Amino acid sequence: MTDTGPYTAQKPPIAESPERLRERIPGWGADLDPINRPSATRLQWQEDTGAHWEFPERQPEKWPRERSVEHKMLTPVFGTACPPRWLSGAIRRYSYARYSEGRSARWLLFVLADRIDAFENHVESFLRLRPDNPITETGVKSEFTHHGLRSRLGQHRADLKHQPLDPIIVAGPWAAAAGGAYVGARRLVDSLRG
């Protein structure tokens, strides 16, 4: 006789009975009844949220705050971290003003601005004499203090295949900048020598 298992009206049986599960697992079934699950009904009227306003007072806008064109107006409350500045800021402002959230261009411009922003800030960090330090800022020191090798060797980790890419992502732009500076300096020296 063949085992017809999943081809009948019954589900394959569970090995453990509810009694056994209740014994083994603290609180098993405590929220079996959806009434006990706070988000079982996803949209549920909340009488008291703590809000004592119908519409919140408006936070003062201290600089022209960028906002999504999918919003009818600036939200009454908004974050004030890192106002846009320089070229990265101009790109971000443009993208916010121009594209809806449905457009890929909006997000790709942000990705571009993010890379430019990192570059701008690295340059500034040198000018301000608080230079970025890729060694301390990546925390790689912890490889030596927190078992970098033992955490990887003999494990069945899938991420080992691509972790070698991380230093390239971090150091690549630095190496490119250093290489560019070196080539530029040599050209300058050569041209000065005539």
Partner 1 sequence: MRAMVYRGPYKVRVEEKDVPPIEHPNDAIVRVTLAAICGSDLHLYHGLMPDTRVGMTFGHEFIGVVHEVGSSVQNLQPGDRVMVPFNIYCGSCWFCKRGLFGNCNNTNANNYAVGAYYGYSHTAGGYDGAQAEYVRVPFADVGPSRIPDWMDDEDAVTLTDACPTGYFGAQCGDIVEGDVVIVFGAGPVGLYAARSAWLMGAGRVIVIDHLDYRLEKAREFAFAETYNFTQYGDIVLEMKKTTDFFGADVAIDAVGCEADGAFFQHVTAAKLKLQGGGSPVALNWAIDSVRKGGTISVMGGYGPLFSNVKTGDLMNKGITLHTNQCPVKRQWPRLFDHVRNGYLKPGELVTHRVPLEHIAEGYHIFSAKLDGCIKPLVVPTAV
Q: Is the CB of 44 or the CB of 191 nearer to partner 1?
A: 44
Q: Does residue 60 bind partner 1 (CB under 8 A)?
A: yes
Q: Can you say how many angstroms the Cα of residue 187 is from the centroid of all Cα atoms in its chain?
A: 41
Map the footprint of partner 1 across residues 84-143, applying CB under 8 A.
84, 88, 92, 96, 101, 104, 107-108, 110-111, 113-114, 117-118, 120-122, 125, 130, 132-134, 136-143
Question: How is 116-183 classified by DSSP, letter by letter?
Answer: HHHHHHHHHHHHTT----HHHHTTTTHHHHTTTTTTTTT---GGGGTTTHHHHHHHHHHHHHHHHHHH
**CA-based diameter of the chain, in Å?**
94
Q: Does residue 80 bind partner 1 (CB under 8 A)?
A: yes
Among 23, 25, 87, 177, the residue binding partner 1 under the rule CB under 8 A is 25
Q: Residues 162-181 vs partner 1: string with x where CB under 8 A?
A: xx-xx--xx-----------
Gap between the Cα atoms of 16 and 28, Å rounded: 12
Among 32, 97, 183, 185, the residue binding partner 1 under the rule CB under 8 A is 32
Q: Does residue 2 bind partner 1 (CB under 8 A)?
A: no
- Contact present, 84 and 93 (Cβ < 8 Å): yes
Q: Does residue 19 bind partner 1 (CB under 8 A)?
A: no
Among 23, 68, 177, 181, the residue binding partner 1 under the rule CB under 8 A is 68
Task: Return the axis-axis angle of helices 86-98 and 104-127, rounded to nearest 10°.
Answer: 160
Write the CB contacts of 122 (distance below 8 Å, at least 6 apart in sequence): 132
Q: Does residue 59 bind partner 1 (CB under 8 A)?
A: yes
